[in-house]
Amino acid sequence: MSPWPYPYWLAHRGAGKHAPENTLAAFRLGAAHGYRAFECDVKLSADGVPFLLHDATLQRTTNGHDLAGERLWDELAQLDAGAWHSPAYTGEPLPRLNEVAAWVQAEGCCLNVEIKPTPGTEAATGAAVATACARLWAGAAVPPLLSSFSEAALQAAQAAAPALPRALLLDALPPDPVARARALGCVAVITQHRLMDGALCTSLHAAGLRALCYTVNDEADVQRLQALGVDGLITDAVDRHPPVEPQRPGR
């Protein structure tokens, strides 16, 4: 396999348990803990602006309500995406993808962009996010790694920006995950950590694919997965897991 350009440890949604998830404040806190790679969720506003948010609806992590994808960006930009977490973050805004791209590149960090479509917009979101990423990282030494649970989003991303690397996210194992990933032109598979075992890791590597896992917080899980030889771990526990690169041949 060709060398893998991404750090082994990725901070989930920035440092999304210790600061408001998917905000620049969370990225800054993750960087303060030494993390140089981050995972985030990106969807589209009603007027097609890529921005960071995990849920389809606004109420869990902002003071807004209803479907985020049905709101114009000018409305979304006024929301408070920090107060739900703790008073110290009151007024923290939802970030646009272009703001995160600028911060990541200025800090010399890497990004895993999870394409998180509002239901029913899978292909449109995949194409728009991939197109934006290709523009925002044009000429960058390390492009963002696009990932999604939605195969339709990954297919659209592939068509829109075929040069960008992609990963298939899995929260359950399909009959042949290697074939599914290869059919989508992916370079990696990112599984829920309990799904990864030695057979799957070996089969992914044999097919030239990288094996990553989310969301790995407990030390016992870290040890098990590192022993299997996985290529990356996404974690919430940025305070407990220093982002030390394990020694892996061929990384």
As annotated, the active-site residues are 12, 54
Instruction: Give the three-state DSSP class for 92.
Output: coil
Q: Supply 50's token pair.
A: 């890529």
Q: Supply 195's token pair.
A: 């799904």
Exposure on the CB side of residue 172, measured as CA atoms within 13 A: 3
* Strand positions, DSSP E, 99-143: 110-115
- Answer for the pair 117, 153: CB distance below 8 angstroms, yes or no: yes
Cα 47–52–54 angle (5° rounding)? 110
Q: Is 31 exposed, middle or buried (0-12, 13-18, 19+ CB in 10 A)?
A: buried
